Chain A
């Protein structure tokens, strides 16, 4: 079945947007849980937020926002048929993604060190609302981190495709879709930042 070669960039973009909708709703379920729990335990959430390192959160926000810019710049480069620049910008984006994960890793390590992780003996002695707060914190930032990781893998594949020429000036829908995914990861973080780090 050789099949028909059928190309529909608009369709591909529509499909990607629909996929992003599912991702947003996936996190939406967690946002529902967060809103409800915060309504139930306002004081504990306030206190829990105080335990987080807002400076690192804000640095990470800047890192991710910059990476969203570089991914766009790589699309602009491919539109101008500048393959080298496109790859360089993608590499920058991937690098920034890794920086984000490293910072996140340090944050998590500090929380573990202080016994603030689910099922930790110390956390069990804290008020229930704070236990839920850290349960949500690890779930939501963890799931987001997983998305960053997936995004990095996708961008790596895309960089390779730019290298081999299967993404080029007249055919860059895959790169655009990959960029859209990266922006989504970014947008979700922008919601996570105030909900956790700035809740104090």
Chain B
């Protein structure tokens, strides 16, 4: 892996240029690109682990496997699956990997505003990850509360909740520091002429996300601290026996965790917005609408948290207000979908793997989004609350949305990041089982939930068995596709063909520099004179 553009060209970021070599050079780097790759490596590993856990969870629903896995283990499995996927992959995913790697390049900067702080964030992330893993094997055993750590059970259970919660606290710190870094970077380091409305839309998405990270994460931090204090000292704030209120926990938890859903999805939407113009060879339709809808999602998304609690007990007025706001937040998301489709319309479409995953994203996200609006309606919510419908819905949004967006972004930027091209055929081949398996698994869950199958149950009634089998078989296809996907990319890193500087014909700044980029990104900071997606045939 070496940059061999011209003998005079500066070396690629993958070549060690400092005094340290190899692993040490990576672990002490302040280069935003290397930090992005560090995150990528860590996160894909966590993703694989949590995927394995999910796979085993599905096996439990084939009742024969219940001989091997006890109910308590099952509780631990779904908690671990949720904690790893949410806190170690989906929340930090796109901003930490692609935000780090591409945000500075897209705005024409040499690095983020605080490079050392950036590395610190990675160490916080890794520390949190290690603590989370430790919590599984130490103390009273793996937490069995579900990823939401609801009080009062989380206060009373003998499992190792304190450490797991502390891990989430540390991860939150990493997320906040990254947010601070990105906001400052966008405010201070845009290249000359890179006005706000000339920024690629991925930057707008990362910017909105960073604000949520900044404004929402402290709430979960303090909430988790309270859980720990409650467990160690019995301060009583969430404990009804001492006059506390478990509902307060739910409110505080969702004040963060609902906006966190938008931390997860917004950057994926941003990446999708970069990909579509490149493969439609057209400028994006409705630039400002997309930029402002990111901000609107961030703003309105912060005011809908209590729709997770319609059955927990609150006033009718509050229910109606939160229901209405929930419906409203669907509007900016729909604006984006409309604009993406509008961009594709009459474009000269160049069909490539990133576009395939982008279309997959749009399709699955629409199902996820619409089922979300369904649950926003109060009467329907009461029926669907805590059923498999919820599980199916958020997997459509989080997996079908964020993770497919992550994959699309990875496929789009992979040649730039590593200077190698993957086998497109192998990607198409792994897409197929992934897509089929995904829909068997999660659409199966949607139907199961409608029929009344509650979530987080170890056993199920006989009438649900057929659909459980369908879902479990779907999970096998899904895992097969995912393994094929990652194997293809891993193979490409080491044995792939050399990628061109601009394999897709993109127009944003990352495609103007070599693949992989040099340490300093740009020889000379570019001066920007136009918006990001003006394709030549359109400019006439």
Q: Do A and B bind each other?
A: yes
A residues bordering B, Cβ < 8 Å? 1-4, 6, 8, 10-12, 14-15, 18-19, 21-23, 25-30, 32-33, 36-37, 40-41, 118-119, 124, 127-129, 131-132, 135-136, 138-139, 143
Which chain B residues lie closer than 8 Å to A129 at the CB level?
A: 243
Beta-carbon contact of A21 and B214 below 8 Å: yes
Beta-carbon contact of A135 and B235 below 8 Å: yes
Chain A residue nearest to B114 in the complex (CB): A15
Which chain B residues lie closer than 8 Å to A135 at the CB level?
A: 235-237, 242, 244
Beta-carbon contact of B222 and A29 below 8 Å: yes
Question: Interface segment, B74-82, B179-187, B505-513?
Answer: B179-187
Beta-carbon contact of B234 and A119 below 8 Å: yes
Which chain B residues lie closer than 8 Å to A138 at the CB level?
A: 233, 235
Chain A residue nearest to B16 in the complex (CB): A1
Q: Which one of B188, B226, B236, B251 contacts A14 once the chains associate, using CB atoms below 8 Å?
A: B188
A157, B226: Cα distance in complex, Å: 30
Beta-carbon contact of B188 and A11 below 8 Å: yes
Chain B residue nearest to A25 in the complex (CB): B218
Which chain B residues lie closer than 8 Å to A41 at the CB level?
A: 243
Beta-carbon contact of B188 and A10 below 8 Å: yes
Most buried by A among B25, B179, B233, B242: B242
Beta-carbon contact of A4 and B111 below 8 Å: yes
A132, B240: Cα distance in complex, Å: 10
Beta-carbon contact of A18 and B218 below 8 Å: no
Beta-carbon contact of B520 and A4 below 8 Å: yes
Q: Which one of B17, B217, B255 contacts A1 once the chains associate, using CB atoms below 8 Å?
A: B17
Beta-carbon contact of B234 and A118 below 8 Å: yes
Most buried by B among A2, A11, A143: A11
**Counting CB contacts under 8 A, is B176 at the interface?**
yes
Given known contacts A4-B110, A4-B520, is B180 in contact with A25 (CB within 8 Å)? no
**Counting CB contacts under 8 A, is B386 at the interface?**
no
Beta-carbon contact of A19 and B226 below 8 Å: no
**Counting CB contacts under 8 A, is B29 at the interface?**
yes
Rounded to whole Å, the gap between the CB of A25 and the closest CB of chain B is: 4
A176, B17: Cα distance in complex, Å: 35
Rounded to whole Å, the gap between the CB of B121 and the closest CB of chain A is: 13
B residues bordering A, Cβ < 8 Å? 17-18, 25, 29-31, 110-111, 113-115, 117, 176, 179-181, 183-184, 187-189, 214-215, 217-219, 221-223, 225-226, 229, 233-237, 242-245, 248, 251-252, 255, 519-520
Beta-carbon contact of B233 and A119 below 8 Å: yes
Q: Which one of B176, B223, B243 contacts A29 once the chains associate, using CB atoms below 8 Å?
A: B223
Beta-carbon contact of B187 and A139 below 8 Å: no
Q: Which 3 A-B pairs have the closest CB atoms?
A: A128-B243, A135-B235, A29-B222
Chain B residue nearest to A14 in the complex (CB): B184
Chain A residue nearest to B28 in the complex (CB): A1
Chain A residue nearest to B235 in the complex (CB): A135
Which chain B residues lie closer than 8 Å to A131 at the CB level?
A: 236, 242-243
Rounded to whole Å, the gap between the CB of A8 and the closest CB of chain B is: 6
Which chain A residues lie closer than 8 Å to B117 at the CB level?
A: 15
Which chain A residues lie closer than 8 Å to B187 at the CB level?
A: 11, 14
Beta-carbon contact of B242 and A132 below 8 Å: yes
Which chain A residues lie closer than 8 Å to B242 at the CB level?
A: 124, 128, 131-132, 135
Beta-carbon contact of A22 and B217 below 8 Å: yes
Beta-carbon contact of A132 and B180 below 8 Å: no
Which chain A residues lie closer than 8 Å to B113 at the CB level?
A: 8, 11, 15
Rounded to whole Å, the gap between the CB of B110 and the closest CB of chain A is: 6
Most buried by B among A18, A128, A136: A18
A27, B188: Cα distance in complex, Å: 28
Rounded to whole Å, the gap between the CB of B24 and the closest CB of chain A is: 12
Chain B residue nearest to A4 in the complex (CB): B110
Which chain A residues lie closer than 8 Å to B111 at the CB level?
A: 3-4, 6
Beta-carbon contact of B233 and A11 below 8 Å: no
Which chain B residues lie closer than 8 Å to A14 at the CB level?
A: 183-184, 187-188
Beta-carbon contact of B184 and A132 below 8 Å: no
Most buried by A among B215, B218, B235, B252: B235
Given contacts A14-B187, A32-B252, A135-B236, 4 further A-B contacts (CB under 8 A): A18-B184, A22-B214, A32-B251, A37-B237
Which chain A residues lie closer than 8 Å to B214 at the CB level?
A: 18, 21-22
Beta-carbon contact of B235 and A118 below 8 Å: yes
Beta-carbon contact of B184 and A26 below 8 Å: no
A8, B218: Cα distance in complex, Å: 26
Given known contacts A2-B18, A118-B233, A131-B243, is B226 in contact with A25 (CB within 8 Å)? no
